[in-house]
Amino acid sequence: MELLRVFAYHVHQPRPFLIQFTETFGIRYYGLAYILGFLVGAWLLSRYYRKGLSPYNSEQQTDLFVALIVAVVVGGRVGYFLFYTPELILSKPWKVFFVWEGGMASHGGFTGVAVATLYIARKHRQSFWLTSDLVCSLAPAGLLFGRIANYLNGELWGKVTDASWAVLFSTAPDRGTLPRHPSQLYEAALEGLFMLLYSQYRIWKTPTLKKHPGSLAGEFLLIYSILRIVGEQFREPDTALTLGLSRGTTLSILMGLVGLVIAISARERTND
């Protein structure tokens, strides 16, 4: 009976390529996720400018997105090495350039984006906090597509479960013999879709950009951190850092505290 139940689960085989030319070269879903995320972000930022919500014209938008692309890739890659595989920093530091092998940390990407946002705001003499609000509202699209790509790649699988919608991941240590949560899809819905809807509501339906610059950025960091911690409860944990918490949970707690401070400060820094 138990054997029949296992056969009832979906068996997931990794599909990293949309189009594959050779064994290691082709159009990867992960790369496509980044492209789609930036395209949606560029479309949103253009709409903000046309509706008078953003001070960045088309030329400045290009400048901003070039900085963001570099920041996400470099920050995400370096963050992955620092937070998840620090042993490779000394043994194989050149691996940081092997982006085609995968390995990106969202918290590292956020750090890189913060630096890029500060650079662009100063370069164009715009408010750092307003720019942060705009940038944070663009990020969820990339998170949504990125988590879906994680699922297609068969990576970051969830914990073992007997839920009827569980998935057998052939890439998991058990080689697909144990049903697991499709935690990548949970995170896509929470970190991606929910955060996208929330940020767009705040942008279009509230005066937060004009009255409380920086508030949306703080809210984004805080709510993302809470949702990431929720998602971590279903995800196969990585090496714990402290108190038995996963790396993702530990980093999210720290980021959430930063977001809370930013949100509170923005409320006190009201623009009339």
Per-residue pLDDT reduced to its tens digit, 188-228: 999 999 999 999 999 999 999 999 999 999 999 999 999 99
Could you give the number of structural domains in the chain?
A: 1
- Band of the pLDDT at 184, cuts 50, 70, 90? very high
Give the residue among 118, 108, 113, 126 at the shortest CA–CA distance from 54: 126
| C-alpha span between 165 and 167 (Å, rounded) | 7
Between 261 and 251, residue with greater pLDDT = 261
Q: Indicate the pTM of the whole model.
A: 0.88
Q: What 3-state DSSP class applies to 238?
A: coil
- 191: Cβ contacts below 8 Å, ≥ 6 apart: 106, 140, 143, 144, 147, 224, 227, 228, 231
pLDDT of residue 90: 72
Tell me the residue range of the domain where 74 lies.
2-268
Between 241 and 138, residue with greater pLDDT = 138
Express each pLDDT in 77-124 by its tens digit.
888 878 777 777 777 776 666 665 667 788 888 999 999 999 999 999
pLDDT of residue 101: 60
Between 263 and 15, residue with greater pLDDT = 263
Per-residue pLDDT, averaged over 48-59, amounts to 97
- Band of the pLDDT at 243, cuts 50, 70, 90? low
Give the residue among 202, 219, 213 at the shortest CA–CA distance from 269: 213
> Chain-centre distance of CA 253, in angstroms?
16
Per-residue pLDDT, averaged over 234-241, amounts to 75
Burial label for 39, CB within 10 Å (0-12, 13-18, 19+), is middle
Per-residue pLDDT, averaged over 232-255, amounts to 82
CA distances from 229 to 7, 185, 216 (A): 31, 15, 20
